[in-house]
């Protein structure tokens, strides 16, 4: 991390043409803006024709989503739509804080305009880009992100060089190569200065916020187009993208969804709907997941880790030691432990210490567990990736996998998930004990054989 001293030093650099508000530049806020740009780039890319088609395929083919989340395609689409809209809103909130520092009164009113855009689709200042123009702007945004990353890295190096130079200067005995070291510092300062010129550092608030604002309006319109979101008939402005969506049978939108008037069998939030496939924008935020889901219970990430451990054990049951088995058991919440004990009672009751496990049943359990993990595993791995991406985004990196929450365990039914995990653990227990018995029998036979050989040697 950059030292606190470095941040204090950053503020000491004078702003370009200080005293003229219209010339105020971002300065250190360039790093925050770069993070916002990376999020907008990710959102735009996730709404491309290619990614929309890919997402539709993955959702359609996912048995895990159908078994644990919902088999209602329209409901899954609404979950994805709400996550996309929430992501745009979160970026818009951050941009609104920057907009108040602009000189342009239109940009200062961004928060109000965004609210109107959400409610009615209005774009009074024509801030939306066309799709192709937005693609070109994304390339520029990516260049800004890259140059800002370089600026951040080189500024860290400069700080380290300056601190090292100070230590050398304060140490009377270390006079060697001071001149050369000063040259290094001077050159690095020059490099940092050049990077500031090409990065967001020296861009004005008005220039930068306008790029952010126009991108947000474009992404919002694109989201509405892809998901077929319309507004009330009495709204003053219904965009041509909506009309286009309704009219064309092969719209980009229809690749992912066709809105339905039916209510989902179970949902994380109530969505108010009008007639004729109209979906209104008012909706709760994603944190209001249904009470019966893992997301609401804050167990989605934990169960993802449990499932991945089970997946590893199923692949190599002969490598499971007592400590590893205990560690897995300790990961289980009380509800799963209770159901596991109940499920294991019949097996333990019918097995004496001398009982022989059935190899056929062990094979059936192995195949059954592999079948379950084939559809359950992807949800667990996606949950880990989704969480990891959010952590990376906090470090100003761009997410590349385009995973949405509907592809994870977040909206999975808690009771169904725990039942499946319990089933996996029962099967794993049987296969593990069967493997231990085979090993014990092999060891016993080996020992008996060695004893017999010793007796024969003695007789001879």
User: Considering the domain boundaries, does residue 255 fall inside one?
Assistant: no
Q: Count of alpha carbons within 13 Å of 194, Cβ hemisphere only?
A: 8
- Whole-number pLDDT of residue 292: 93
Helices 30-46 and 131-170 meet at what angle, rounded to 10? 150
* Token reading at 368: 């059954």
203 neighbors 26 (Cβ within 8 angstroms): yes
pLDDT of residue 229: 79
> Which are the contacts of 158, defined by CB distance < 8 A and separation ≥ 6?
185, 188, 189, 192
Q: What are phi and psi of 273, to 5 degrees?
A: -125, 145
Same domain, 319 and 436: yes
**Domain shared by 311 and 206, yes or no:** no
Task: Give the Cα separation of 253 and 56 in Å (integer).
Answer: 11
DSSP state of 236: S
**pLDDT of the residue at 448:** 59
The helix/strand/coil state of 293 is strand
User: In this structure, what DSSP letter does residue 397 have?
Assistant: P
158 and 37 co-located in one domain:
yes
Show the tokens assigned to 233: 């008939």
Regarding whether 148 and 23 lie in a shared domain, the answer is yes
Indicate whether 326 belongs to any domain. yes
Same domain? For 207 and 336 the reply is no
Under a CB-based contact definition with an 8 Å cutoff, are residues 375 and 62 in contact? yes
- Which pLDDT score, from 0 to 100, does residue 268 have? 34
For the chain, the residue count is 460
Q: Is residue 40 in some structural domain?
A: yes
Where does a domain end: 209, 236, 263?
Answer: 236
Q: What is the C-alpha to C-alpha distance for residues 55 and 403, in angstroms, rounded to an integer?
A: 9
Question: Which string of b and e fits 52-69 if b means at least 16 CB within 10 Å?
Answer: beebbebbeebebbbbbb
Q: Is residue 282 domain-resident?
A: no
pLDDT in tens, 205-214: 999 999 999 9
308 and 217, same structural domain?
A: no
249, part of any domain: no
Q: Which of 191, 217, 236 is the last residue of a domain?
A: 236
Question: 68 — phi, psi (to 5°)?
Answer: -110, -25
User: Rounded to an integer, what is the distance from CA 55 to the centroid of its chain?
Assistant: 15
Q: Where does a domain end: 182, 208, 236?
A: 236
For residues 124 and 21, membership in a common domain is answered with yes
Locate 375 and state its tokens. 């559809």
Beta-bridge partner residues of 204 = 25
- Domain co-membership, 45 together with 137: yes
Asked whether residue 275 is assigned to any structural domain, the reply reads no
d(CA 196, CA 215): 23
Low-confidence residues in the chain, pLDDT < 50 = 1-22, 232-284, 396-397
Q: Model pTM? A: 0.75
| 101 and 182, same domain (yes or no) | yes
For 288, list phi and psi in degrees, rounded to 5: -85, 55
Query: Residue 61 is part of which domain span?
Result: 4-236
Same domain for 453 and 326 = yes
179 located within any domain:
yes
Work out the burial of residue 95: count CB atoms within 10 Å of its CB; fewer than 13 is exposed, 13-18 middle, 19 or more buried. buried
Structure tokens at 412: 């999975």
CA distance 177 to 250: 70
Determine, yes or no, domain membership for 396. yes
How many structural domains does the chain have? Answer: 2
Quick one: 187 and 70 in the same domain?
Answer: yes
147/200 Cα distance (integer angstroms): 8
């Amino acid at each position: 991390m950059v030292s606190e001293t470095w941040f204090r030093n950053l503020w000491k650099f004078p702003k370009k043409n200080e005293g003229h508000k219209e010339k105020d530049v971002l300065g250190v806020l360039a790093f925050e803006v770069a993070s916002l740009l990376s999020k907008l780039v990710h959102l735009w890319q996730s709404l491309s024709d290619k990614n929309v088609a890919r997402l539709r395929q993955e959702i359609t083919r996912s048995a895990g989503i159908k078994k644990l989340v919902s088999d209602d395609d329209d409901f899954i689409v609404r979950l994805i739509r709400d996550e996309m809209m929430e992501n745009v809103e979160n970026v818009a909130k951050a941009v609104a804080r920057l907009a108040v520092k602009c000189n342009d009164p239109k940009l200062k009113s961004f928060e109000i305009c965004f609210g109107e855009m959400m409610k009615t689709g209005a774009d009074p200042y024509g801030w939306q880009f066309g799709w192709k123009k937005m693609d070109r702007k994304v390339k520029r945004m990516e260049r800004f992100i890259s140059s800002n990353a370089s600026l951040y890295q080189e500024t860290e190096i400069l700080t380290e060089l300056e601190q090292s130079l100070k230590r050398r200067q304060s140490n009377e005995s270390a006079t060697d190569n001071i001149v050369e070291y000063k040259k290094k510092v001077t050159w690095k300062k020059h490099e940092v200065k050049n990077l500031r010129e090409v990065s967001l550092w020296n861009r004005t608030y008005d220039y930068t916020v306008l790029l952010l604002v126009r991108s947000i309006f474009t992404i919002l319109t694109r989201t509405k187009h892809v998901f077929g979101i319309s507004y009330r008939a009495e709204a003053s402005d219904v965009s041509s993208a909506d009309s286009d969506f309704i009219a064309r049978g092969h719209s980009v939108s229809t690749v992912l969804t066709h809105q339905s008037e039916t209510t989902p069998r179970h949902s994380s939030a109530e969505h108010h709907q009008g007639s004729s496939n109209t979906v209104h924008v008012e909706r709760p935020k994603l944190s209001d997941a249904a009470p019966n889901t893992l997301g609401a219970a804050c167990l989605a990430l934990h169960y993802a880790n449990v499932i991945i451990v089970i997946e590893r054990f199923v692949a190599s049951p002969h490598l499971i030691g007592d400590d590893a088995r205990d560690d897995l058991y300790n990961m289980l919440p009380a509800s799963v432990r209770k159901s596991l004990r109940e499920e294991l009672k019949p097996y333990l009751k019918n097995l004496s210490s001398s009982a022989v496990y059935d190899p056929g049943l062990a094979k059936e359990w192995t195949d059954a567990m592999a079948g379950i993990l084939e559809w359950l595993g992807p949800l667990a791995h996606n949950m880990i990736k989704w969480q990891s991406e959010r952590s990376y985004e906090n470090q100003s990196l761009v997410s590349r996998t385009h995973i949405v929450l509907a592809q994870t365990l977040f909206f999975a039914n808690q009771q169904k998930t725990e039942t499946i995990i319990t089933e996996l653990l029962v099967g794993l227990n049987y296969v593990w004990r069967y493997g231990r018995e085979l090993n014990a029998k092999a060891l016993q036979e080996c020992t008996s054989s060695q004893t017999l050989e010793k007796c024969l040697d003695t007789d001879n």
